Amino acid sequence: MALVVQKYGGSSVADAACIKRVAQRIVATKKAGNDVVVIVSAMGDTTDELLELAQQVSPLPPGRELDMLLTSGERISMALLAMAIANLGQEARSFTGSQAGVITDSTHGKARIIDVTPGRIRGALDDGQIAIVAGFQGVSQDTKDITTLGRGGSDTTAVALAAALGADVCEIYTDVDGIFTADPRIVRTARQIPRISYEETLEMAACGARILHLRCVEYARRFNLPIHVRSSFSTREGTWVVSDPNIEGTEMEQPIISGVAHDRSEAKITVVGVPDKVGEAAAIFKTLADAEINIDMIVQNVSAAATGRTDISFTLPTNDSQTALTALKKMQSEVGFEKLLYDDQIGKVSLIGAGMRSHPGVTAKFFGALADAGVNIEMISTSEIRISVVVGQNDVDAAVTSAHRAFDLDSDQVEAVVYGGTGR
Ligand code: ASP
Ligand code: MG
């Protein structure tokens, strides 16, 4: 008998019919002799709708109340799913994040899990019940307030609970058959990846591939917990995220490049005419850090000898742009820079693959593919297993398609079926 943790995304529980279908799948897993813990997201677009509703009553809702509101989405789906399972003759019990023992820090909107104490979940399993847990939420250790883990955070709830319970596998159900070499909505011939390492998946998640929440992959890697990403709309085998994707004893060699990810959610700010002196960059980024803004790529120009000034550009989530611009304007006279430029019509395209560590020429080929597609590169950043470029937003599709082709990632048939359409 195994302990299976399953997480169902919003598209898998979008309406009553979907919930009944998922209930059958869960009951089948239970009847096969497994203990089952299920984590659910809110139905369909519920979280977006709740956010929209909040905006209508207040332009800047207090974080505590926003979390209170958003967590109600998952309470709806967990209770409905438990009812649907009961209707199939199995005992199920639903739990909020707090009841399930998901303890977090007190940062509303992006809380971090600091402990998981799933006593009640264990108890339910011991009583032969199926436990259903609301994803994306927890309770703060100090304030005792309800918190959320950030958009897409149900994945992290699932992996954290799976690790705490010592589950054999964590299955993440979505609306596509796993992780693909590129977004199948852009590249029709994207290929399904059967097995991939945590480190590559981390880079993909960080680079905008919206398939898994970043912290969920970090968590899984820390606990060496295998994740199986698959569709709830089919019974096909999905993608296994594991520490070593090479199957021992086989000659199956991993490709040099695993995939091409893209992200349209970032913007670029350029601080023009920064005096080329020690400490100026530190002051600028300290200001941004104090405003809790996560910076992604940074480029500093060589200073023009004549002026003794330089430009610093960086990218950040578009959602944080207003906060960043306001914070920087406040320090303009102190630092003495000339002006700020803002561009939200950018996109990031990233090539990811553990094989690039040991294979030269990957960068040249990538940039060649972009040139062939007539795409201009605005910024570049790299890690050991990733090369990212910032390009104009309208060039993203062409850049992804061209890079995907250049690295022979195209499949000769259309493999990707997008069942739900929202990617949740
Ligand atoms: N319902 C939340 C969201 O839409 C959490 C999740 O789906 O993982 O972001
Ligand atoms: Mg998700």
Report yes or no: 95 and 132 within 8 Å, Cβ to Cβ.
yes
CA of 155 to the centre of ligand 1 (A): 9
Is 27 part of a structural domain of the chain? Answer: yes
Tokens 């199995």 locate to 90
Of 174, 202, 220, the one marking the end of a domain is 174
Average pLDDT of the residues of the chain = 94
- Asked if the structure places residue 389 within a domain, the reply is yes
In this prediction, residues 253-267 reach a mean pLDDT of 91
Pocket residue to mutate for ligand 1, from 50, 75, 151, most atoms within 8 A of Cβ: 151
In a domain, 143, yes or no: yes
208 lines ligand 1 (CB under 6 A): no
Residue 391 pairs with which residues in a beta bridge?
A: 347
CATH number for position 139: 3.40.1160.10
163 and 124 within one domain: yes
CA angle 46, 49, 53 (to 5 degrees): 135
Ligand 1 centroid to 203 CA: how many Å? 20
Give the atom of ligand 1 at the shortest distance from the alpha carbon of 48.
Answer: 4
Ligand 2 centroid – CA 7 distance (Å): 10
In a domain, 205, yes or no: no
Residues 360 and 399 in one domain: yes
Closest ligand to C-alpha of residue 152 is 1
Residue 13 near residue 41 (C-beta atoms within 8 A):
yes
Given a cut of 70, whether residue 411 has pLDDT beyond it is yes
Q: Is 423 in the pocket of ligand 1 (CB under 6 A)?
A: no
Rounded mean pLDDT, 151-159? 97
Query: What is the position in ligand 1's atom list of the atom closest to the CA of 157?
Result: 8
Q: Is 44 in the pocket of ligand 1 (CB under 6 A)?
A: no
Residue 212 CA from chain centroid, whole number = 4
Q: How far is the CA of 152 from the centre of ligand 2 (A)?
A: 4
**Ligand 2: centre distance to CA 174 (Å):** 7
217 is a domain residue: no
Which residue of 41, 66, 170, 175 sits with most ligand 1 atoms within 8 Å of its CB, as the best mutation to test the pocket? Answer: 41
The CB of 398 under 6 Å from ligand 1? The reply is no
Q: Tell whether residue 405 is among the known ligand binding residues.
A: no
Among the residue ranges 48-57, 205-214, 244-253, 350-359, the one predicted with the least confidence is 244-253
pLDDT band at 250 (very low <50, low <70, confident <90, very high): low
Residue 239 has phi, psi (to 5 degrees) of: -105, 130
Residue 251 has pLDDT above 60, yes or no: no
Q: Is 194 within a domain?
A: no
Based on the domain organization, do 15 and 110 belong to the same domain?
yes
Residues spanned by the domain of 156: 3-174
Q: Are residues 302 and 380 in the same domain?
A: no
CATH of the domain at 322: 3.30.70.260
The reply to whether ligand 1 has any atom less than 6 angstroms from the CB of 138 is: no
Identify the pLDDT of residue 209. 85
Pick from 79, 100, 84, 110: which is nearest to 27 by CA? 84
410 is in an annotated binding site: no
pLDDT for 303 equals 73
Among 82, 68, 1, smallest CA distance to 40 is for 82
pTM score of the predicted model: 0.90
Same domain for 352 and 332, yes or no, is no
Tell me, what's the pLDDT at 373? 97
CA nearest neighbour of 369 among 336, 404, 325: 404
pLDDT at 249: 61
365 is in an annotated binding site: no
Tally of domains in the chain: 3
The whole-angstrom distance between residue 309's C-alpha and the CA centroid of its chain comes to 38
What sections of 144-240 are H helices per DSSP? 154-165, 198-206, 214-223
Distance CA 135, CA 114 (A): 16
Tell me, yes or no, whether 353 and 338 share the same domain.
no
185 labelled binding-site residue: yes
Q: How far apart are CA 100 and CA 114, in angstroms?
A: 14
Q: Please tell me the total number of residues recorded for the chain in this structure.
A: 424
Q: Which of 151, 174, 197 is the last residue of a domain?
A: 174
The helix-helix angle for 63-87 and 16-31 (nearest 10°) equals 60
Is 105 within a domain?
yes
Ligand 1 neighbourhood includes 173 CB (under 6 angstroms): no
Ligand 1 pocket, 75 CB below 6 A?
Answer: no
Residue given tokens 């994040």 in the structure block: 97
Residues 16 and 148 in one domain: yes
Amino acid (1-letter code) at residue 106: S
Q: Does 33 lie in the same domain as 13?
A: yes
* Rounded CA separation 423/45 (Å): 11
pLDDT recorded at residue 20: 98
Residues 86 and 119 in one domain: yes
Do 10 and 117 share a domain, yes or no?
Answer: yes
Alpha-carbon distance of 281 to 283, in angstroms, equals 5
What is the pLDDT, as a whole number, of residue 304? 72
Tell me the CA–centroid distance for residue 153 and ligand 2, in Å.
Answer: 7
Q: What percent of the chain has pLDDT over 90?
A: 86
- What's the sign of the alpha-carbon dihedral 236, 229, 399, 363? negative
268 annotated to bind ligand: no
pLDDT band at residue 248 under the 50/70/90 scheme = low
- Is 423 a residue whose pLDDT tops 80? no
Eight-state DSSP code of residue 10: G
Residue at which a domain ends, from 343, 369, 384: 343
Q: Which pLDDT tens digit goes with each residue over 88-106? A: 999 999 999 999 999 999 9
Q: Name the band, by pLDDT with cuts 50, 70 and 90, for residue 421.
A: low
Q: Which amino acid is at 213?
A: H
Quick one: average pLDDT of 227-250?
A: 89
190, burial (CB in 10 Å: exposed 0-12, middle 13-18, buried 19+): buried
Is residue 244 assigned to a domain? no
pLDDT score recorded for residue 87: 98
Closest to 240 (Cα-Cα) out of 185, 187, 200: 200
Strands 169-174 and 137-140, by their bridges, are unpaired
Say what the pLDDT of residue 114 is.
Answer: 96
Of ligand 1's listed atoms, the one at least distance from the Cα of 154 is 8
Same domain, 38 and 96: yes
Q: How far is CA 92 from CA 13, 79, 95, in A?
A: 16, 9, 10
Give the DSSP letter of residue 43: S
CA-derived radius of gyration, the chain: 23
Tokens at 235, concatenated: 């019974």
Verify that 158 and 135 share a domain, yes or no: yes
